[in-house]
Structure 1
């Protein structure tokens, strides 16, 4: 015998699930609906995709704003976990730079409509760049700054402040380039990763973070693979 139907919780065939399990089910349904219908997806569509009534969706997320935050958090947590694993897996600085950019672009390329939903909002008033994704991008910037600090021989407060600025500047560069690429697809994803790697490597090569050289030390051309 199966579980009894959840009275008032949607179609007669809907089963009452533990709250966390139901939330995961709704988020997975939301991701499918967004991938199919884009940022303009409605709460009705999400409910239909999940096989529940709309009040259940509202009960878990409050409104579309709350749904966007939850989708963004789910997207960001998975991406941040893979991004950190990738950084730890590459010892060569240039390979690490390339791999870290590739992780971000691949994840966005695999779910472009979800990324648009989170960054561009919708006609129903969901704000551009949901809180969860915004927090994720800040974490990426902080992570980059911390990594640069760990390999930079200059530990002065002035250098640490500069590294924090550069870490977040790198994130902004990648995000802006990704937004353009999603709209125009002017190069392949692999080419974009290579372009951004070259730009970051050359532009920040003298900052002392790529190889741990102190600032002002010239050494080999940082743009050489």
Structure 2
């Protein structure tokens, strides 16, 4: 018979401590998985993740329900890494051309340094979820907010902001994702220049249609701070 002192009572702190320890261990294993993906590629196996974490494979499933739960945790963390890495772009200052150039180069640079992680995101889909689409949506929503600000400054119809933002994100993502598979064909600087020019022409055409002619090299008024 188990004595009452050995059981976990509500409020005795054991359940909370166990939950905290389990969450900490999950994060450690996800970090190990990210390292394994960077080293071995997007088709990393559970065994390779366990090796990187320094444990036996069955031990992983003491902290994850199954392989799908592990993959979902990795995907969530990878998506967070992308959006966090690009977050400083929303606080840039300068001319339209400077903002576009820096943003595009930062996106290409992140892909160049984290190609395997991006490929892993592209391969994962849980319950109909597309992880890359989720990331693109987050970026496009931020860009929509930025475009709405400047369209308001220029006294233009802000309803077009979302369409323009998603169009820009789609152009950059599809072009850079393809470039990632054969980066030797077009140097990074050349790709940045191409995308910068294409994006500016899209934005310039949108502005001119609203009766606004903007010098791309003149400083813009600062955008609003990003939401916390």
Report the TM-score, using the length of structure 1 for normalisation: 0.75
Q: 1:214 Cα deviation (Å)?
A: 8.0
Conserved 8 A contact 1:27-1:71? yes
Which of 100, 104, 114 lines up with 2:103 in the alignment? 100
Conserved 8 A contact 1:83-1:103? yes
In 1, the alpha carbon distance for the partners of 2:61 and 2:158 equals 44
Aligned to 1:194: 193
Conserved 8 A contact 1:39-1:114? yes
- Pairwise CA RMSD of aligned residues? 2.9
Unaligned segments of structure 2, at least 5 residues:
1-19, 219-228
Q: Where do 4+ consecutive residues of structure 1 move more than 6 Å?
A: none
How many residue pairs match? The answer is 198
Which of 48, 62, 78 lines up with 2:51 in the alignment? 48
Q: Structure 1 residues 61 and 138 mapped into 2: Cα distance closer, same or farther (>3 Å)?
A: farther
| Structure exhibiting the larger radius of gyration computed from Cα positions | 2
Q: Structure 1 residues 191 and 20 mapped into 2: Cα distance closer, same or farther (>3 Å)?
A: farther
Q: 1:56 Cα deviation (Å)?
A: 3.4
Aligned to 1:172: 170
In 2, the alpha carbon distance for the partners of 1:199 and 1:148 equals 17
In 2, the alpha carbon distance for the partners of 1:93 and 1:218 equals 12
Aligned to 1:62: 65
Higher relative contact order (CA 8 A, sep 6+): 2
Q: Is residue 141 of structure 1 aligned with residue 140 of structure 2?
A: yes
Conserved 8 A contact 2:95-2:217? no
Aligned to 1:216: 211
Unaligned segments of structure 1, at least 5 residues:
1-16
Aligned to 1:12: none
Q: Is residue 160 of structure 1 aligned with residue 158 of structure 2?
A: yes
Conserved 8 A contact 1:105-1:178? yes
Q: 1:96 Cα deviation (Å)?
A: 1.3
Aligned to 1:27: 30
Q: Structure 1 residues 37 and 199 mapped into 2: Cα distance closer, same or farther (>3 Å)?
A: same
In 2, the alpha carbon distance for the partners of 1:134 and 1:65 equals 19
Q: 1:205 Cα deviation (Å)?
A: 1.4
In 2, the alpha carbon distance for the partners of 1:62 and 1:38 equals 24
